[in-house]
Structure 1
């Protein structure tokens, strides 16, 4: 798995499209549900998932426990890794970095920001490579 992370309109999609031109995209921005990703990979060799912050936001009201919600999302990341191992395909995660801006006043938005940060950490820990995108520039992050 690879992770591309950066701020809003930083150029993540463009860079991922250049690098993975034959990838199948599974996007919350297009209305795709996270749980529906297995149907997108039937013939795919590379799967790009984007909109993680939206998938998180949709689950906030239904799950009051941050720990349980983080576990649910980690389970999805593990399933993606298992698909890679089983199929020989590649998963590319495109995530929004939310921690560099102003801290929101709303408790719900702060919770989303925190969970998004934890999700990014969990994703990075599972990825072979992580990339930071800013102003259309790409930098590989090291562990």
Structure 2
């Protein structure tokens, strides 16, 4: 798996589109499990997953952060394994939201926490991590 992370409008989508010309793109559905992404896997075809921040935003109502995190960790590991079996490169695009003013609203702070944990878990699973800023792509793992 590869993870592309950077701020809003940093050039993540363009960087991925340039590298994976014939990829299928899958937007996470709010309120649906991460495991639904497996439906979009096609043998020998890269799969790009987007919409992480919005997907996490739908989980703000849940109080069981540990269970939520364990579920996406498990789903991500299964997705990576299935993608490998199908020789389908897996790419996740995530938005960096931890470099700014800390919001006053508790739900916005929690969203940043969830996003940070998700990105940490994705980084653990990823073979390569790319940080994108101003259209420049830097390999960080």
TM superposition score normalised by structure 2: 0.91
State the partner residue of 2:135: 136
Q: Aligned partners of 1:46 and 1:81: how far apart in 2?
A: 12
State the partner residue of 1:40: 40
C-alpha RMSD of the superposition? 1.8
1:24-103 alignment, distance < 5 Å:
24-28=24-28, 33=32, 34-42=34-42, 45-61=45-61, 63-103=62-102
Per-residue CA shift, 1:105-134, capped at 9, x if unaligned?
111110010110011011001100000000
State the partner residue of 2:109: 110
Distance 1:105 1:23, change over 3 A: same
Segments of 5+ residues of structure 2 without an aligned counterpart are none
Q: Aligned partners of 1:116 and 1:90: how far apart in 2?
A: 23
Does the 8 Å CA contact 1:26/1:32 hold for their aligned counterparts?
A: no
More helix by share: 1
The total of aligned residue pairs comes to 140
Q: After the TM superposition, which of the residue ranges 91-100 and 34-43 deviates more from structure 2?
A: 34-43
Runs of 4+ in 1 over 2 A off after TM superposition: 30-36
Does the 8 Å CA contact 2:2/2:90 hold for their aligned counterparts?
A: yes
Segments of 5+ residues of structure 1 without an aligned counterpart are none
Shift of 1:85: 2.4
Report the 3-state secondary structure (helix = DSSP H, G, I; strand = E; otherwise coil) of the residue aligned with 2:80.
Answer: helix
Report the 3-state secondary structure (helix = DSSP H, G, I; strand = E; otherwise coil) of the residue aligned with 1:49.
Answer: strand
Shift of 1:58: 0.9
Does the 8 Å CA contact 1:24/1:44 hold for their aligned counterparts?
A: no
